[in-house]
Amino acid sequence: MDFTTEMNEAINRGLEGFKLFIRDKINENSDYLSQFFWSPPDGLQMTVINFLVSAHHEQDEDAPTNESRNDLTAFIDCVLELSEDKNVGEPLHQAILAGKLQLALHLLGIERGVEEKTSFDVVTLSEPVSTKIKVSKYNMDRRDNEGRTLLAIILNIKNIELLRAILMIKPNVHATTSMTDFRVMFQPIHQAVVMDFAEGVRMLAAQGAQLANPLGPMKDTPLILAARLGKITAMEALLDFPGENLLLEATNNNFLEDTKTGHTALEELCNRIANSKEKVDAIRGVAMLLCQGAEPPVGEEMRELLSRNRIALLKAIDSYLEKKTELVDAFVNRCHVTESPLHNIVYADHSWGSSIRHLFGKPSDAAFLIENMVTRKYNRPYVEHSHGTPLSSATAESLLGEKNYLKLYAEFVRRYTQAYDSQIFTNRWSTMRWMIAEGRCDWVTVVNYARNHPTSRTRIIWGEMFHPMPKLHEDIEDRVDETFEDTRPEGSQRQSAMN
């Protein structure tokens, strides 16, 4: 009798009859459970456990309870209890590859009663499940006959619950697996990026995956790989783990153009924008990288590309910084550095288009978007306790004690814009409005401008920021002059004292 027929007959005897059959076989041959047997129709070599996993059918939770299904879980448990080495035949690999995920979780000691989570939370898995997993006898780093690790197989199907369970047993998160016809060796972090599996990226990064280790002849770090392939969800997950290990300015080997000069992640995204490959996502990727401190591209052509898309880029930056408020100050301060590459990208330039805007008195919205990022951050209720009074409700007394020029300038721009928009007849060529729009202004410039133009709208708004509206018999100019020395930059105050 051949192996397949013998096994089917043993299964048909029921669980107790199957147990007797297995024990008799072991008594005849102590190596029976570790041996492989030819199996039709494809001539596969199978162990007893392989046969059972192959014949097993998952229980359908939506099916009628009286529907007969070939659930061999109890038979599989019987064989595993009698096996000296549970890894023979790689039953875990087999179950996952066959899509029998309920069985795979059962083999790991996780029952369906355990609530499935959809976000990364290894620590808070229930203690009973954690204990069962820790005593598992499966080798998490074992490979199947095609050289695949369990991590590689699970990442390929993007199953969060299985990945969490495997990571709790501390597999080697650096082990490579060949994933292409060119035999390129992928680490799990590279594979998660290619799959755009953000949760997988976060889990692996939290377990110490090498976030800057290059891949293949192209020498793509995980970040560059995400950028080049347009895997923006994975990129965002990588950027949740910033620091030196991420290497924002790393370059790859650009064999198609110049073997000496590769591209950074940001430059790879610029290429996607230029080629109109999922342009919106590519702009979002650029926005995230700039917010995290990445330098603009080196090439002038790429900088001009970003400048032409500045409004879409700033809207993407605005959306990202709404969630990452801790990055706002550093980003806006970098924008304020005049003649820097980032400054020239985000603010209106002196091109033909800028001349047209001047002609019609319609400045770019870019500068106002940037300053709005600051006012929004410091107007949030939860900011009050850690950063002082929200700007929108700040009194003159509270602003007098404010030493953060970034906040003061953003608040000035907000009030200036409100005052300008409230006018029936506006001066489209207002000097201060255009200075703000073209990035030629900051808090120091505002203070000096207010001093030198005592009848200007700037002077009035600047004065109102530090004193409430005066009574009718008070002279606003005198009150503004009293405040000026306290709000000017320290160097200007010292110079005034010497004169």
Q: How far apart are CA 283 and CA 287, in angstroms?
A: 6
85 in any annotated domain: yes
Whether 277 and 301 map to the same domain: the answer is yes
Q: CA separation (Å) from 255 to 40, 67, 252, 261, 262?
A: 48, 59, 9, 9, 8
pLDDT of residue 181: 74
| Predicted structure pTM score | 0.83
Distance of CA 384 to the CA centre of its chain: 27
Q: How far apart are CA 9 and CA 145, in angstroms?
A: 28
Q: Which H or E run contains 262?
A: none
Q: What backbone phi and psi angles, to 5 degrees, belong to 139?
A: -90, 110
197 in any annotated domain: no
The more confidently predicted of residues 104 and 493 is 104
Q: Please say which residue of 139, 157, 189 terminates a domain.
A: 139
Q: How far apart are CA 297 and CA 222, in angstroms?
A: 19
pLDDT of residue 101: 94
pLDDT of residue 494: 37
- Lookup: tokens for 366: 């870019």
What CATH number did the domain enclosing 244 receive?
1.25.40
**DSSP character string of 361-381:** T---SHHHHHHHHHHHHHHSG
73 C-beta neighbours (distance < 10 Å), count: 15
Question: What percent of the chain is modeled with pLDDT above 70?
Answer: 79
Query: Is 480:463 a contact under the CB 8 Å cutoff?
Result: yes
Q: What backbone phi and psi angles, to 5 degrees, belong to 453?
A: -130, 75
Domain range for 444 is: 327-381+401-468
Query: Is 330:401 a contact under the CB 8 Å cutoff?
Result: no
Does residue 236 have a pLDDT over 90?
Answer: yes
Query: Is 432:416 a contact under the CB 8 Å cutoff?
Result: yes
Whether 354 and 449 map to the same domain: the answer is yes
Q: How many domains is the chain partitioned into structurally?
A: 3
Does residue 453 have a pLDDT over 60?
Answer: yes
pLDDT of residue 468: 60
Whether 17 and 90 map to the same domain: the answer is yes
Q: Please report which confidence band the pLDDT of residue 126 belongs to, taking 50, 70 and 90 as the band edges.
A: very low
pLDDT of residue 361: 59
Query: Is 413:434 a contact under the CB 8 Å cutoff?
Result: no
Whether 344 and 432 map to the same domain: the answer is yes
Does residue 272 have a pLDDT over 80?
Answer: yes
Q: How far apart are CA 179 and CA 183, in angstroms?
A: 7
Whether 236 and 302 map to the same domain: the answer is yes
Average pLDDT over residues 10-21: 96
23 in any annotated domain: yes
Query: Is 308:366 a contact under the CB 8 Å cutoff?
Result: no
- Lookup: tokens for 451: 């001093």
pLDDT of residue 474: 46
Q: What is the 3-state secondary structure (H, E, C) of 229-261?
A: HCCHHHHHHHCCCCCHHHCCCCCCCECCCECCC
Each residue of 158-176: pLDDT tens digit?
999 999 999 999 999 999 9
Each residue of 376-425: pLDDT tens digit?
999 876 544 445 555 555 555 567 878 899 999 999 999 999 988 887 77
What is the average pLDDT score of the chain? 84
Whether 359 and 459 map to the same domain: the answer is yes
Whether 247 and 317 map to the same domain: the answer is yes
DSSP reduced 3-state for 495:
helix
Whether 244 and 372 map to the same domain: the answer is no
Question: What percent of the chain is modeled with pLDDT above 90?
Answer: 65
Average pLDDT over residues 2-26: 96
277 in any annotated domain: yes
Each residue of 245-268: pLDDT tens digit?
899 999 999 766 555 679 999 999
Query: Is 450:462 a contact under the CB 8 Å cutoff?
Result: yes
Sequence-separated (6 or more) residues with CB below 8 Å from residue 473: none
Quick one: which of 348, 219, 238, 225 has its CA closest to 289?
238
Average pLDDT over residues 87-103: 96
Whether 299 and 431 map to the same domain: the answer is no
**DSSP character string of 58-72:** ---TTS-TT------
377 in any annotated domain: yes
Q: CA separation (Å) from 116 to 94, 126, 155?
A: 22, 11, 17
162 in any annotated domain: no
Average pLDDT over residues 283-308: 96
Whether 357 and 420 map to the same domain: the answer is yes
- Burial category of 358 from C-beta neighbours within 10 Å (exposed 0-12, middle 13-18, buried 19 and up): middle
Q: How far apart are CA 333 and CA 34, in angstroms?
A: 66
477 in any annotated domain: no
- Lookup: tokens for 206: 């939290």
With tokens 């369970």, the residue in question is 165
Lowest mean pLDDT among 14-28, 413-427, 429-443: 413-427
Does residue 323 have a pLDDT over 50?
Answer: yes
Q: Please report which confidence band the pLDDT of residue 465 belongs to, taking 50, 70 and 90 as the band edges.
A: confident
Cis peptide before 297 (omega within 30 of 0): no
Q: Please report which confidence band the pLDDT of residue 473 belongs to, taking 50, 70 and 90 as the band edges.
A: very low
Q: How far apart are CA 215 and CA 466, in angstroms?
A: 57
239 in any annotated domain: yes
Whether 280 and 410 map to the same domain: the answer is no
Whether 274 and 350 map to the same domain: the answer is no
- Lookup: tokens for 220: 């793509």
Does residue 183 have a pLDDT over 90?
Answer: no
Each residue of 133-159: pLDDT tens digit?
544 678 999 999 999 999 999 999 999
Sequence-separated (6 or more) residues with CB below 8 Å from residue 14: none
Q: Please say which residue of 120, 139, 158 terminates a domain.
A: 139
